[in-house]
Chain A
Amino acid sequence: MASSGQTIITGIEFGTDKICVIHGRPDQNGNIEVLSFASRPSRNSVVKGSIIDQNAALNILKSVLEESEKGLDRKFSRTDRQVYFLINGMHVSSRFGEGTVLNYNEDRKITESHVRNAIENAKNLVVSTDLVNIQVYDSSFLLDGTKRTFNPIGKLAEKLTACIHVIFAEKKRIDMVQTILRELGFESGYPIFAPLADAYGVLTKDERNQGTLLFDCGAGVCSYVLLYREGVMLSGAIPTGVNNIANDLAIALDLPYDFCQKFLRESTLQKLRGEGRNYLEYKISSGGADKIRRIPLDSFERVMDLRQHETFTLLKGELERANMLPYLRGCIVMTGGGSLIHSAPAIMMNVMGVPVRCGETMNVTGSLSSFQNPMPCYAAILGLVKHAAALEEDSPSGGGLRRSVVHVTDKFLQELQNLGKAFKI
């Protein structure tokens, strides 16, 4: 681990709902200490996880950065700081890469060089030039094309196939963020796919081993990652989020969108049900006179449940299409604002047929009072710090990533020797 108190990690999230900045560092116990945190609404500069208004996003981030840096006890030069940012949205895609090497050794034992070559071959995916490879995660290996293993070194086989999970993003989206960061004085930033950051902070080691789906239900998009034996089996995104639920309510019940957002954020439905009420009374002003509309709570529930059920069914479809359902042997952990909707875990469980829980980032200390919403809303950015801390810790130079893909792959090879830490990349 990098020496505590020296490595300050800056994490940035360009969320559909808010743009956040967090400064944190790993403490002596291996926990993450939050030094400061600030956020502001993204005000339509980010839609469905993607920046659509670069100038607006830049200005918002600038003010958030300034606010967050006030919380640091001393000044740090931005050029010296390692910056990580979350990426999300439909422009992020993932693919399986397979690479094969033949083993000509007399004893037929697989060595580290076989693994390295297999992974290098697997990385040679043919993808569009618009895409950039941002992360590579291990998945599994096949011995002689038939026997799946997660640590092939020392095992006997004539052919080794490496299966890796490669995450791509649109190059222009990544470049846009890098431009923003450079304008603000940073050298560059390193992208992390949001649900993987989530998973890093929220899932226990057992969960990562057993086969667990991390489902981040954000404002603009829902993203997911399936982990099995601490390897990434599947990841992706569905272009619907909490904003869609609010929009559905606004259209279905003729209510203002902002009201519906607030309705969801404050769990109003649950509160009213708790008071034994069946209607929401909505005051409208018409011609100088106030009029009360009585809207059945059942209608709210119906609209919300339909959207959630559809989203979770789409998720199940994605798993089925990739033949990944058999790997979902543990549970589903939900994070993000959508996980706070009271009915969400029950509907998810009903659709997927496995236990569901709401996740919060573990082992985080420090300045947590600046988080205004419930902690599941910040699982991604807190997980980002944990993820980044692990990357910093494991960096050969100790100075952080130089090229994420290369580094990840190198680290992956190192971790093969210690399978328990494989997921840490």
Chain B
Amino acid sequence: MMEHNANSSEGLSRVPAGKALVVGLGGCGIRILGYLRNNPRANWLVTLAVDTDGDFLAGAHADAVINASADWNSKTSAGCGGDVIRGERAISHERANLKEHIRGFSLLIVTGGLGGGTATGGVRTLASVAREEGIPAIFLFTTPFSFEAHSRRKNADDCLQEIIPVTDVVLTMPNDLLFSTLPPDTPAEAAFATSAREMAGTIAGIASVLRCRDLLGTNFASFMRALHKRKASCGIGVGFAENSDGLDRCALALTRMLESPFLGGKEAMKRADAAIVTLTGGPDLELGELKRSLELAASVLPKTVDIFSGASICDEAADSVQMTAVIFQYAPESKPEPMPKRPAKQTAAPVVADQGGELPLHFTAASDNAEEVELGLQSYDKGIFEKLPSVRFHDEDLDIPTYQRRNVYIDKGS
């Protein structure tokens, strides 16, 4: 389950370019930084690797590293062996160093894998330092596979309980979600690598949403607004497509976003209470693409969902588009009051609503029928027929691939 907590962070909104720091905490965090380094859309992010294992740190791909010794006496750096206490001590020992590194940044993204020693122990220190420096921070962590040791899962759960009250946003990605997208014969190493790669993509997606100049505003405040001191679980999906990918890049981005392992699949989307959906493109982003993409994304969600929709232009994203969705499901005890809406119609057209200036657009999805919602989503991936008039046959658009309308998974190979 992905957990988050939102405390008030009024006034946080836009991240100036080059002012976001990603901290990779522990072995998993460093692996994520490695993938982030290879992501061309994340080259504006500054990275900092923090670990208690010196050998692992030596291979880190980061702009800066902090070698936190788990042994205060010997100063050796052989890791903390999964011991949360040793991890916490080691990272807290570097408190001043950490403060020095994160100072001056407008956004802090901390990532790693919960359940072990370094990240589970060190996250408290990072949260504390970020709060002291007044830097908005997003904590993105993976949680252990269900087949990993029970102690690791307990460590992760305990850690979450402790950090939720003291952090702005915590998003955790259960590695088990990968089971829904990876075939059972996937090598274990590849599964962990996929986990790290997806996390890197998620970080790049969220960071770019918060960074780019917005046409329709979605920013840190949107996160805060969606969460607003409510306990919730969430999922994140990022889809990226370039012009050279052929066909309709927006439709491809949407499809890829929906296939993101950490989005949680269609079941998670059916249960969503709120969602942030953003489209990031280059200066060549067309109005038609923008409208259609956001309408499509909205149409996949149940009718009752509050959708915070945004669009951004990013010069580096020329000839490409990125669609990012963060979906939230509030815990039962913290269901919010329903937000005022205009009467829902059988259309996913955006409805402008004044929500205190922080919620530029309020979408109402097309239908609350789960099956229809799925069809509505898929129905826009029409390839060569995209720009042709729709030909309906018995109320069905046959230009949409059959496998999409039937929700059949197709293995694309490797």
Contacts and interface: CB of A to CB of B under 8 A. Distances in A.
Interface of A: 47-48, 90, 238-240, 243-244, 247-248, 250-254, 256-257, 279-280, 293-296, 298-299, 302-303, 306-307, 309-310, 314, 317
Contact of A307 (B246, B255, B383, B402): B402
Contacts of B394: 314, 317
A252 B393 contact: no
A303 B403 contact: yes
B245 interface: yes
A251 B413 contact: no
B3 interface: no
- Identify which of B251, B403, B411 gathers the most chain A CB atoms within 10 Å of its CB: B403
A302 B383 CA distance: 18
8 contacts: A248-B402, A252-B401, A252-B412, A253-B410, A256-B246, A257-B247, A295-B412, A309-B402
Interface in B382-409: 382-385, 388, 391, 393-394, 398-399, 401-404, 406, 408
| Range class of the B interface residue count | 20 to 34
B246 A306 contact: no
Contact of B398 (A244, A253, A294): A244
9 pairs of A and B residues whose beta carbons are closest in the complex: A295-B413, A248-B401, A306-B402, A247-B383, A239-B391, A252-B410, A240-B398, A307-B402, A310-B402
Contacts, number: 87
A298 B411 contact: yes
Nearest to A257: B384
A252 B403 contact: yes
B414 interface: yes
A299 B401 CA distance: 14
Contacts of A248: 383, 401-403
B391 A254 contact: no
B88 interface: no
Interface of B: 245-247, 251-252, 255, 381-385, 388, 391, 393-394, 398-399, 401-404, 406, 408, 410-414
Contacts of B382: 247
A311 to B, nearest CB: 8
Contacts of B381: 251
B382 to A, nearest CB: 8
B405 to A, nearest CB: 8
A317 B394 CA distance: 10
Contacts of A252: 401, 403, 410, 412
Contact of A257 (B255, B383, B406): B383
Contacts of A244: 385, 398-399, 401
Contacts of B404: 251
A253 B414 CA distance: 10
B408 A306 contact: yes
Contacts of A251: 247, 251, 255, 381, 383, 401, 404
A239 B401 contact: no
A108 to B, nearest CB: 45
Contacts of A306: 402-403, 406, 408
B410 to A, nearest CB: 4
A238 B393 contact: yes
Contacts of A298: 411
Nearest to B378: A251
- Identify which of B393, B410, B411 gathers the most chain A CB atoms within 10 Å of its CB: B410
A302 B246 contact: no
B8 to A, nearest CB: 44
Given A48-B391, A299-B411, A250 B383 contact: yes
B414 A294 contact: yes
Contacts of B401: 244, 247-248, 251-252, 303, 307
A303 B410 contact: yes
Contacts of B399: 240, 244, 247
